[in-house]
Amino acid sequence: MWCHFHEETVGRQLRCHSRSFQINYCCFDCFRYLVRGWVWIDTNVLPSDSNETAAQARGLFGDKFGAVNSLFSGLAFAGIILTLMLQRKELSISRKEVGRQQFDNTFFNLLKLHVDITSKISLYGDDGRKAFSALYFLIKDSNEYFPAFLALQKMTKEKIRALKDKPEIDQTRHPELSASDVSNLTAVLAGGVRVIDFFLDEDIKMHERIASEAISKVAEKINR
């Protein structure tokens, strides 16, 4: 992916340089033909009689092409404007590419740092990502309601309210639940439907307090 992005960047820069080179070459080519025309005039445009000087003869000849001179002057000015526009576009593209490269470098450095930190985590013999799985199970087991919460998350609110009115559960009526979910809910509901009240309660602070208490228990257990 990075190589493809780099190739596109280089390709755009080369195309911009190529257009600038073509315009500069056309300007140089026009100047070359102008010089050759000047030499041809000096060589071939001569006075028609003795009363006319060479400068007068060439002046009369040049007056015939006054409109052409104006046209070429306008074209030269337009070429300069076009060159400036292309250079401005090239600078804009370069700035964007530099910004993208800086973002990519920062992102990949942060990703590398994350991988390094993750690889150094160890918990009860599990290293790296496995340590996060071990921490998840520790937090889940730190509160008796958490396994039931995981099961209730798979159910609709209508089914949860029906379960509160009639706390009987089986996989036939709740196919979305696994056998372990049914077992966890059955064990918790045996002590009452308070777990359902907690789950349906939308008080964020209450849920934060329960999570904070569970994390504190896990931290105490790890530090023993």
Per-residue pLDDT for 173 more than 50? Answer: yes
pLDDT digits (tens, 9 = 90+) for 99-122: 888 999 999 999 999 888 888 888
What contacts 24+ positions apart, CB below 8 Å, involve 143-147? 143/210, 143/213, 143/214, 143/217, 144/188, 145/188, 145/195, 145/198, 145/199, 145/210, 146/214, 147/184, 147/188
- Same domain for 111 and 50: yes
Q: What confidence score (pLDDT) does residue 3 get?
A: 43
**144, 131 contact by CB (below 8 A):** no
- Same domain for 148 and 189: yes
Residue ending a domain, choose from 104, 119, 134: 119
**27, 76 contact by CB (below 8 A):** yes
φ and ψ at 162, to 5 degrees?
-65, -35
Q: Specify the number of domains making up the chain.
A: 2
- Same domain for 130 and 89: no
CA torsion through residues 129, 134, 136, 137, sign:
positive
Share of the chain above pLDDT 70, in %: 74
Q: What confidence score (pLDDT) does residue 1 get?
A: 45
Domain extent, residue 77, equals 2-119
- Same domain for 182 and 113: no
Residue ending a domain, choose from 99, 119, 139: 119
24-33, 88-97, 131-140, 153-162: least confident range: 24-33
φ and ψ at 123, to 5 degrees?
-145, 115
Q: Which of 76, 61, 83 lies closest to 30, judged by CA? A: 76
Residue ending a domain, choose from 119, 137, 153: 119
Per-residue pLDDT for 72 more than 80? Answer: no
- Same domain for 115 and 133: no
- Same domain for 151 and 53: no
Regarding pTM above 0.75, the answer is no
pLDDT digits (tens, 9 = 90+) for 11-54: 555 555 566 667 666 767 777 777 776 666 666 656 666 666 66
- Same domain for 128 and 101: no
